[in-house]
Structure 1
Amino acid sequence: MTQVDKALAGAAAGAAPRQWLAEFVLLGAIWGSSFLFMRIATVEFGVIATAAVRVMVATLCLLPLVFLRGVGAQFARHWKTACVLGLLNSAIPFACFSFALLSITTGLSAILNATVPLFGALVAWAWLGERPTGSRMLGLAIGFAGVALLAWDQASFKPGANGIAPAWAVLACLVATLCYAVAASATKRYLAGVPAMVTAAGSQLGAALGLALPALWFWPARLPGTSAWLAVIALGVACTGVAYVLYFRLIEHAGPSRALAVTFLVPVFAVCYGALFLAEAITARMVLCGAIVLGGTALSTGWVKLGRRR
Structure 2
Amino acid sequence: MTQTSLSTRAWAEMGLLALIWGASFLSIKLGLEELPFLTLVVHRVLWACVILWGYVLLRRQSVPRDLRIWRAFLVMGLLNNAIPFALMAWGQQFIETGLTSIFNAGTAIFGVLVAAIFFADERLTLRKIAGVSVAFFGVTVAIGLDSLRQFDIRSLAQLAVLGGTLSYALASAWARKRLMGLSPAVAAAGMLTGAVVILLPVALIVDGAPAWPALPRTYLAVGYFAVFGTAIAYLLYYRVLAMVGTGNAMLVTLLIPPVAIVLGALVLEERLAPQAFAGFGLLALGLLILDGRLLRWLQGKPGPVTGPQKLP
**TM-score normalised according to structure 1 size:** 0.85
2:140 maps to amino acid: A
CA distance in 2 between counterparts of 1:274 and 1:34 reads: 11
CA contact (8 A) 1:298 1:304 kept: yes
Unaligned 5+ segments in structure 2 are 300-312
Equivalent position of 1:223 in the other structure: 212
Match of 2:308 in 1: none
Identify which range, 194-203 or 179-188, moves more after superposition: 179-188
Give the match for residue 147 of structure 2. 154
SS of the residue corresponding to residue 175 of structure 1 reads helix
1:258-294 deviation per Cα after TM superposition (whole angstroms, max 9, x unaligned): 5444211111111011111111114322211111111
Aligned to 1:289: 279
275-284 or 58-67: bigger deviation: 275-284
User: 1:205-216 to 2 correspondence within 5 Å?
Assistant: 205-216=193-204
Name the CA distance, whole Å, in 2 between partners of 1:85 and 1:253. Answer: 24
1:91-240 correspondence runs (5 A): 91-128=82-119, 129-152=121-144, 153-155=146-148, 156-158=150-152, 165-217=153-205, 218-219=207-208, 223-225=212-214, 226-240=216-230
CA spacing shift, 1:256–1:186, aligned 2, 3 Å: farther
* Residue 66 (structure 1) shift: 0.7
Shift, 1:246, TM fit: 2.5
Q: Is the 8 A contact 2:10 2:243 kept in 1?
A: no
Instruction: Look up the match of 1:246.
Output: 236
Q: Deviations over 1:208-253 (max 9, x none)?
A: 1110101112147753222212211211100010111223445566
Could you tell me which runs of 5 or more consecutive residues in structure 1 were left unpaired when the two chains were aligned.
Answer: 1-6, 159-164
For 1:231 and 1:219, the matched residues in 2 are separated by 21
Please say if residues 96 and 272 of structure 2, whose CA atoms lie closer than 8 Å, have aligned partners that are also in contact: no
Aligned amino acid, residue 22 of structure 2: G
**Are the equivalent residues in 2 in contact too, given 1:120–1:257 (CA < 8 A)?**
no
The Cα of 1:60 is off from its aligned counterpart by: 1.2
Structure 1 stretch displaced more, 181-190 or 61-70: 181-190
Q: Which amino acid aligns with 1:223?
A: W
Alignment of 1:69 with 2:62, yes or no, is no
Q: 1:213 to 1:246 in 2, by over 3 A?
A: same
Please list the CA deviations of residues 27-66 of structure 1 after superposition, one character each: whole Å capped at 9, or x if unmatched: 2111111110111111211111111111001011111111
**Partner amino acid, structure 1, of 2:213:** P
- CA apart distance, 1:136: 2.4
Q: Describe the SS at the equivalent of 2:43.
A: helix
**Hey, what's the Cα distance between the residues in 1 that align with 2:90 and 2:18?**
22
Residue from 17, 21, 25 that aligns with 2:11: 21
**Compared CA separation, residues 22 and 101, structure 1 to 2 (3 A):** same
Amino acid at match of 2:114: V
Cα contact 1:110–1:270 (8 A) shared by 2: yes
1:276 and 1:220 mapped to 2: Cα distance? 34
Report the Cα distance in structure 1 between the residues aligned to 2:292 and 2:171, rounded to whole angstroms: 20
Identity %, equivalent residues: 33
Work out the number of aligned pairs and report it: 291
| Partner SS, residue 171 of structure 1 | helix
> Which segment drifts farther, 166-175 or 185-194?
185-194
